[in-house]
Structure 1
Amino acid sequence: MSKPLGIMLVDDQPERAEMVSRQLRAAGYRLLVQLTSAEGLLQHVDSHRPDIVLIDIESPDRDILDSLSIINRQNPTPVAMFSARGGSDFIGRAVEAGVSAYMAEGMSAERVTPAIEIAMAQFRNFQQLRQSLERTRKQLQERKTIERAKGLLMAKKGLDEEAAHRTLRNIAMNSNSTMLAVAEQIINHLQSQP
């Protein structure tokens, strides 16, 4: 059986926060910490490691978005934000900062569970896209390195492209190494030659 999700609740209205925290516990979530402001949000996320952060602050500001951006880069965590402050400009900045789900009305007991589910699903999708993009970047960089090594072999050793590729592949196979590692070695070796 999996451990229930750990939640950090940031709500500047104590009565609403208490109602929501009761609802969270009744729904089987673990309330890790309940904050009345976003002050020190980075440190709280770092020390409590919540599965999701729920934020409902009357007037969210740039400081909150800056903190969320840093969290998104350093310790990606799903965030659901509830705010009466709608405007597409603010919502766009919130999403860029890493907010997984944005509800343009305040938090309520009946809306919190669907918001958590939406934020978790959006966060998973975004992380999968991020990982896919990172794999693609890495593959592209590896390909560039191999092409660069082939180009150096062609220029310095007078090989055609096919022979340069075959040389890289053979060295990799014979040395039980990857083509990338061989390409990097060849680049370092041939660039140091006059």
Structure 2
Amino acid sequence: MMTVVLVCGDKGLRQSVWDLLRAWGWTVVGEAATGPEALRLIRLRQPNLIVVDDEISGMNVSQLMDVLSHDRLAPVLLLLSPSNRWGEELLRHSAVMAATAKPLNEADFYLAALLAEANFAKFSSLEQEVTRLQDQLRTRKIVERAKGILMESFGLSEQEAYRQMQRESMERRTSMRAIAEAIITAQKFYQQGQGKVKKERDKE
């Protein structure tokens, strides 16, 4: 079931949008005329789509888009007036996944709603992939650092150090990253201990 929060201060336009959504079998789970009320409803209802008119009160649309872009709770379909001189700026917000012009055309509105949902799914998938790759890169750097510690501390070759970490990972049934982090932490404590010993000797 497609759920929608409708953000629109114009009662006539809000009713028109509501009628179209109902005709498509979609459910309006919240209606708001102001930005603050919209944010409360969106966070409470967690809709699949947020339909936002470019003329609301209580908070300008750009401010609302800033918050929605940060939270990334759902795709935004913007209802845009051709006379809105800030329209181009509003479309740059990452929360806006599609837009359609006022007055509404049912076919254009329907296609824009589907496009917003599809774009949001692609965007979310891309974000997840970027996060995964960033995590892989961080893990690689941590493993490389730990490998260097083993090589320096025990005179191992790069391959020997890596195999040692692999064995520990398999025996302890934990990730290579966890093993690497443990090695780095152990070295840190060792260095701190050595520093304290040196200070005590210097005092003598």
- When normalised by structure 2's length, the TM-score is 0.82
Q: Which amino acid aligns with 1:108?
A: L
Say yes or no: does 1:20 pair with 2:3: no
Say yes or no: does 1:172 pair with 2:169: yes
Q: Which amino acid aligns with 1:188?
A: T
Residues 70-85 of structure 1: pairs in structure 2 closer than 5 A: 70-84=67-81, 85=84
Task: Report the CA distance between 1:163 and its aligned residue.
Answer: 1.2
Determine the C-alpha separation between the residues in 2 that align with 1:107 and 1:79: 18
Residues 44-63 of structure 1: pairs in structure 2 closer than 5 A: 44-58=41-55, 63=60
Task: Report the CA distance between 1:135 and its aligned residue.
Answer: 0.5
The residue number in structure 2 matching 1:122 is: 119
The residue number in structure 2 matching 1:145 is: 142
The residue number in structure 2 matching 1:108 is: 104
Task: Report the CA distance between 1:59 and its aligned residue.
Answer: 6.8
Determine the C-alpha separation between the residues in 1 that align with 2:39 and 2:56: 19
Equivalent residues, number: 188
Q: Which amino acid aligns with 2:120?
A: F
Which runs of 5 or more structure 2 residues have no equivalent in the other structure?
192-204
Deviations 1:149-193 (A, max 9, x none): 001111222222111111111111122221111111111112221
Asked whether the 8 Å contact 1:37–1:57 carries over to 2, the reply is: no
* Cα RMSD, aligned residues only: 2.2
Determine the C-alpha separation between the residues in 1 that align with 2:8 and 2:166: 59
Asked whether the 8 Å contact 1:20–1:112 carries over to 2, the reply is: no
Q: Which amino acid aligns with 2:40?
A: Q
Determine the C-alpha separation between the residues in 2 that align with 1:131 and 1:81: 25
Assess, with a 3 A threshold, how the Cα gap between structure 1 residues 92 and 113 changes in structure 2: closer, same or farther. Answer: closer
Asked whether the 8 Å contact 2:7–2:50 carries over to 1, the reply is: yes
Which runs of 5 or more structure 1 residues have no equivalent in the other structure?
none
Task: Report the CA distance between 1:87 and its aligned residue.
Answer: 5.4
Task: Report the CA distance between 1:114 and its aligned residue.
Answer: 1.2
Return the index of the structure with the highest Cα Rg. Answer: 2
Assess, with a 3 A threshold, how the Cα gap between structure 1 residues 64 and 157 changes in structure 2: closer, same or farther. Answer: farther
Determine the C-alpha separation between the residues in 1 that align with 2:68 and 2:56: 20
Determine the C-alpha separation between the residues in 2 that align with 1:136 and 1:61: 40
Larger relative contact order (CA 8 Å, sep ≥ 6): 1
Asked whether the 8 Å contact 2:34–2:56 carries over to 1, the reply is: no
| Identical pairs, percent | 26
Assess, with a 3 A threshold, how the Cα gap between structure 1 residues 66 and 22 changes in structure 2: closer, same or farther. Answer: same
Give the secondary-structure state (helix, strand or coil) at the position aligned to 1:77.
coil
Determine the C-alpha separation between the residues in 1 that align with 2:34 and 2:120: 23
